[in-house]
Structure 1
Amino acid sequence: MYDDFNKRLRVEDYRGHLPQIIQHIENAAKQKVYEKIIVKARFAHIPVFIEKGFVYEGWIQGYFNGSDAYFLAKYLTACRRRSDDWCKEDEIIHSVQNQTRYNHLSSLPDGFLIRKAEKKDAAELSRLYKTVFTVYPTPLERVNYISHILESGAIFFVIEKDGQIVSAASADVNETYHNAEVTDCATLPEYRKHGLMKHLICQLEEDLRKNGIFCAYSLARAKSFGMNAVFHQLGYQYAGRLTNNCYIYQDLEDMNIWFKNLAYEQ
């Protein structure tokens, strides 16, 4: 997948003679003057990618209809490979993993309502994302883009306070491999103390289970203690970090991988 905004080539799937595939994607990335190639690879193919200069960055258990996926990256510029915040982000993960996991959530605070989003919410969702993020890897600031993905079956849940959407999250379902990315997580700053995102993610998980999706994963900003803590506390496993993965919040950032087997959750 060509990703001009984030200056990267994403290979979500592949089939054929692997050395020729790798040569093709490298040529394509160089023609586009991209800075990074990232591939979701099968376990058996890791040595071939490593031999061709790719580096391992993380994994997702059960991504390919029960088989694991491995993130392998190749960097085409030195600055894209370098992360000055890596050690600080390691400290954040260490602190997060000392947090207590939740066995169950308490009820939403009084005055808050959780529900599934509808197409009519597109304009208000757009305002939410523009308020929370200066930049974002997908164009969630555009009302027509949100309308389109809602019409296409994207699962969004929102939390309202006094009729205003104050928090939202979505699940991007891969119908071929039966997995879902928990993404587009945003809460207005003045409402972050209420733990709203945990409720949204739990609602998304319940919806995914009902539809036979049991591999859930997410990419969280490595600099964000709050979002990484949410995933840890809800039973997700930390599984690696993608260096300078995408433009989000204010700049190009590292993203932590989290996954969860929903089959074990009731």
Structure 2
Amino acid sequence: MNKTQASMLSNILEDKASKRIYVTKLCTQDLPHIIEYLDDISSKNGATKIIVKVPTKYSPFFNQYNYQLEAYIPAYFADQTDVLFMCKYTQKERQQAEKHYLGLLQNMCNTLPSTCTKSLNQALHLRELCNTDIPNMISVFKQVFETYPFPIFETDFLQQSMLDGTRYFGVFEANKLVAISSAECDAENKNAEMTDFAVLPSHRGMCLASHLLIEMEHALRKDKYVTVYTIARLQCMPMNKTFYNAQYQYTGTLIQNTQISGSIQSMNVWYKRL
């Protein structure tokens, strides 16, 4: 995934593996020219989806150009306004979601959330990770993910993400790292994306993702964060259930959005006010 370098001030990612253009941070000074610019780089790169995180007040502008709302996060910005995930497709076939998994998601949402009652095994301990943990982090990520939308298998990327404010947490058995998660922190707006959950197959079924999520929420509350959210694979029902049980609210599905674990998959957006 490459960051586009051009006259635009917005943060624009060309995600060739996912065949999408992703505007992760919209600079309103780029309006209205960003529409034509996105269309142009989409065509040049063979991207079949453009997705933009749009402050609510600018959604009418994007609606004019056939962008559709797929999901949103309330109170995303410091002034407590929302952000909308607005999308445009250049290939009709890409707009088809995985109906079977949407049905499973609906069934889950029709049930009451249930809290994991398993305490952390006494043989395990949980702590925040640092630079010296990076080799072990890469080893876990490689065992869990065939492919990933960001270069989490690379030392330089993980080091830079830590410098940029992403906080990683891990569960250890003795000195062996067995589970990871991260909080990608936006200190200015006091929101964080809860992401990069990876649990070794040998340690699944122990509620480790739930324990990591609780620990991250606790750390973020101490730092006065307001909103946390995740973008979870539609096909990974256990991960969706982890957030559902933790009282996160579902706001929509990003259709055929992200190349992960070997294929382009739809992603569910969940949020929670701390």
CA contact 1:102–1:235 (8 Å) conserved in 2: no
Which residue is 1:68 aligned to? 82
Q: Note the 1:23-102 alignment, pairs <5 A.
A: 23-65=36-78, 66-83=80-97, 85=98, 87-102=99-114
Deviation at 1:154, TM superposition (A): 1.6
Which residue is 1:246 aligned to? 258
Give the residue type in structure 2 aligned to 1:257: V
Distance 2:160 2:117 in 1: 32
Which residue is 2:34 aligned to? 21
Give unpaired runs (5+ residues) of structure 1. none
- RMSD (Å) for aligned C-alpha atoms: 1.8
Give unpaired runs (5+ residues) of structure 2. 1-11
CA contact 2:197–2:209 (8 Å) conserved in 1: yes
User: In the alignment, does 2:240 pair up with 1:228?
Assistant: yes
Deviation at 1:41, TM superposition (A): 1.4
Give the residue type in structure 2 aligned to 1:243: I
Deviation at 1:245, TM superposition (A): 1.0
Q: Give the secondary structure class of the aligned counterpart of 1:171.
A: strand
Distance 1:28 1:124 in 2: 37
User: In the alignment, does 2:221 pair up with 1:209?
Assistant: yes
Deviation at 1:166, TM superposition (A): 0.8
Deviation at 1:10, TM superposition (A): 1.5
Deviation at 1:46, TM superposition (A): 2.2
Once the two structures are overlaid, the 10-residue window that deviates more, 137-146 or 235-244, is 137-146
Give the residue type in structure 2 aligned to 1:121: D
Change (3 A) 1:149 1:103: same
Which residue is 1:261 aligned to? 273
Distance 2:59 2:163 in 1: 37
Distance 1:100 1:55 in 2: 30
Please list every run of at least 4 consecutive aligned residues from structure 1 whose deviation after the TM superposition is greater than 4 angstroms: 102-106
Distance 1:44 1:15 in 2: 11
Deviation at 1:150, TM superposition (A): 2.5
Identity %: 28
CA contact 1:238–1:256 (8 Å) conserved in 2: yes
Which residue is 1:161 aligned to? 173
Distance 2:44 2:272 in 1: 37
CA contact 2:116–2:207 (8 Å) conserved in 1: no
Q: TM-score, normalised to structure 1's length?
A: 0.91
When the two structures are aligned, how many residues end up with a matched partner?
260
Distance 1:17 1:198 in 2: 40
Q: TM-score, normalised to structure 2's length?
A: 0.88
Once the two structures are superposed, what CA deviation does each residue of 1:181-204 show, in whole Å capped at 9, x if it has no partner? 011011011211100000101111
Which residue is 2:13 aligned to? 2
Change (3 A) 1:130 1:104: closer
Distance 2:244 2:188 in 1: 27
CA contact 2:251–2:269 (8 Å) conserved in 1: yes
CA contact 2:116–2:210 (8 Å) conserved in 1: no
Distance 1:90 1:153 in 2: 33
Once the two structures are superposed, what CA deviation does each residue of 1:102-154 show, in whole Å capped at 9, x if it has no partner? 56855312211101111111011101111111010011112332233224332
Which residue is 1:119 aligned to? 131
Give the residue type in structure 2 aligned to 1:170: S
User: In the alignment, does 2:203 pair up with 1:191?
Assistant: yes
Once the two structures are superposed, what CA deviation does each residue of 1:21-46 show, in whole Å capped at 9, x if it has no partner? 32232223223332211111122322
Q: Give the secondary structure class of the aligned counterpart of 1:180.
A: strand
